[in-house]
């Protein structure tokens, strides 16, 4: 997968929140074989005790030689998201930013109006934006017009583990933008959900809670990595299409008839 001129061999992006311990997080990251981890700047805040804790956390990640994708998680306004993105660029020395502008508290659904506005501002300032969005085609078009080169539609609400709530919408988004890198972000709970996303032709999956909240995070991380690879291979194999009627898998022509 190519994003903003960077080639990624792994199609699994992994979050770094909610693990039982830093050691378990590192083991899970290594088991996943991911090349990109997301980090919420709110945990990496500069200054005071929070800044010291953030520096220790960054010291744990740095030896893993991964790409960091800072996240404006928890931002509910354009101003807040833009400010957080600028802080992230200073802390992590990267132009990449996973842009979240949350519009609804219960579902954490993106505020797509604010998202497009924030994306325009950040891209004009040199950021390479990974927008957390919905599967809405019009919003997708607006984000691409703003300069986004990748889209990250949700599968279902963050942390819900419900999988893909709107398969039709995700499939339609893929069909309308065949050349755009698409990453299913949020709601993945099982390896089968990740495989399904990849079978739809998506380029990657980003998840956190499904691994961090599992009883054995490293084992689940490995399972997710295997599922992503299997789903991608299935998509490339051009699977058979679903039918309404049965179709015999054993040929009947030339079979002997016994009387």
Summarize the annotated binding site for 1-deoxy-D-xylulose 5-phosphate as residue ranges. 159, 186-187, 208-209
CB contact set of 251 (below 8 Å; sequence gap of 6+): none
Q: Please confirm, yes or no, whether 98 is among the known catalytic residues.
A: yes
Detail the residues annotated as belonging to a binding site: 159, 186-187, 208-209
Measured in residues, the chain has a length of 259
Which among 88, 125, 132 is positioned nearest to 111, based on CA atoms? 132
CA dist 50 → 11, 41, 130, 212 (Å): 32, 11, 26, 22
In the sheet with 128-133, reading across from the earlier edge strand, the strands are: 152-153, 128-133, 96-99, 67-71, 36-40, 12-15, 204-207, 183-185
- The two most distant CA atoms of the chain are separated, in Å, by 90
Which of 98, 193, 222, 232 is an active site residue?
A: 98
CA 114, distance to chain mean position in Å, is 20
CA dist 126 → 4, 12, 79, 202 (Å): 12, 25, 17, 26
CB contact set of 18 (below 8 Å; sequence gap of 6+): 208, 209, 212, 213
C-beta atoms surrounding 241 within 10 Å:
5
Pairing of strands 6-7, 2-3: antiparallel
Task: Give catalytic residue positions.
Answer: 98
């Amino acid at each position: 997968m190519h994003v903003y001129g960077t080639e990624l061999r792994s199609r699994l992006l992994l979050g770094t929140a909610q693990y039982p311990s830093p050691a378990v997080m590192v083991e899970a990251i290594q088991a996943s074989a991911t090349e990109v981890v997301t980090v919420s700047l709110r945990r990496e805040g500069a200054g005071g005790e929070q800044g010291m804790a953030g520096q220790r956390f960054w010291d744990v990640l740095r030896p893993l030689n991964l790409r960091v994708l800072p996240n404006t998680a928890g931002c509910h306004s354009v101003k807040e998201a833009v400010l957080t993105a600028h802080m992230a660029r200073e802390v992590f020395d990267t132009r990449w930013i996973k842009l979240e502008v949350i519009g609804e508290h219960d579902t954490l659904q993106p505020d797509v109006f604010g998202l497009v506005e924030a994306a325009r501002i950040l891209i004009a300032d040199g950021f390479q934006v990974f927008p957390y969005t919905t599967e809405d085609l019009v919003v997708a078009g607006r984000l691409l017009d703003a300069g986004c080169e990748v889209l990250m539609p949700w599968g279902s609400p963050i942390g819900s583990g419900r999988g893909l709530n709107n398969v039709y919408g995700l499939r339609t988004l893929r069909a309308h933008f065949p050349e755009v890198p698409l990453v299913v972000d949020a709601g993945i709970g099982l390896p089968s959900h990740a495989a399904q996303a990849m079978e739809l032709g998506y380029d990657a999956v980003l998840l956190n809670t499904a691994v961090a909240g599992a009883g054995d995070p490293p084992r689940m991380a490995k399972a997710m990595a295997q599922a992503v690879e299997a789903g991608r291979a299935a998509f490339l194999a051009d699977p058979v299409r679903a039918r309404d009627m049965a179709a015999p898998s054993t040929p009947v022509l030339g079979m002997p008839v016994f009387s």
